[in-house]
Amino acid sequence: MPYSYDFGKPEAIDFILKNTTTESKILDVGAGIGTYSILLNPHGYSMDCLEIYKGYVEAYNLKEKYKNVYIGNVVDFDLSDYDFVIIGDVLEHLSIEDANIVLKKCKNVIVAVPYMLAQDGVDFVENGFHLVNEYERHLQEDLNPSIMESRYPMLELVWNNELYGYYSNIKN
């Protein structure tokens, strides 16, 4: 779904505020409804987003929430211009190989993942839009803290509970 859990959002926003400035060039990957824009804009942030599914761009008015909106796959997207990348509820949609490719391209990143969550594509109506998104399928349904640690050793735990976790390559 284009929504993410509320778990750990205050801690994630604190982490972003401590590790960026309002002048940082930030990309929100898999913006969905624009959660990180909604949470960071009041702090003076303006960021870009990358969304793989055009239907969300229209249904959730992402062009009003972000400076630049790109439609595409993060695996093929040039991240080199960005000081900080937010990968919220996206890693589980990528193969392990593609996830590692993406993480290696990020200078500074925060990653949010649900643990042990199977999900298929979605088909629903919202805001008057019929949204059919096959990209919502989870390719990594087995994520948990120990698998995150072994599969993605470049990431360190920022915050988690039994259902959800935030990770970063920034060593604090």
Quickly count: other Cβ atoms within 10 Å of residue 34's Cβ. Answer: 23
**Average pLDDT in the 149-161 region?**
98
Question: What DSSP state is assigned to residue 141?
Answer: T
Domains annotated on the chain, with CATH: 9-168 (3.40.50.150)
pLDDT at 109 over 80: yes
Q: Is the pLDDT of residue 159 over 90?
A: yes
Residue 102 DSSP class: H
**1 pLDDT higher than 70:** no
Global pTM reads 0.96
Report d(CA 36, CA 170) in Å as an integer: 19
Question: How confident is residue 70, by pLDDT bands cut at 50, 70 and 90?
Answer: very high
Over the range 118-135, which residues count as b (16 or more CB within 10 Å of their CB) and which as e?
eeeeeeeeeeeeebebee
* CA distances (Å), origin 50, targets 30, 147, 165: 6, 26, 21
pLDDT in the model for residue 63: 98
Locus of tokens 């604190």:
14
pLDDT-derived band at 4, boundaries 50, 70, 90 = confident
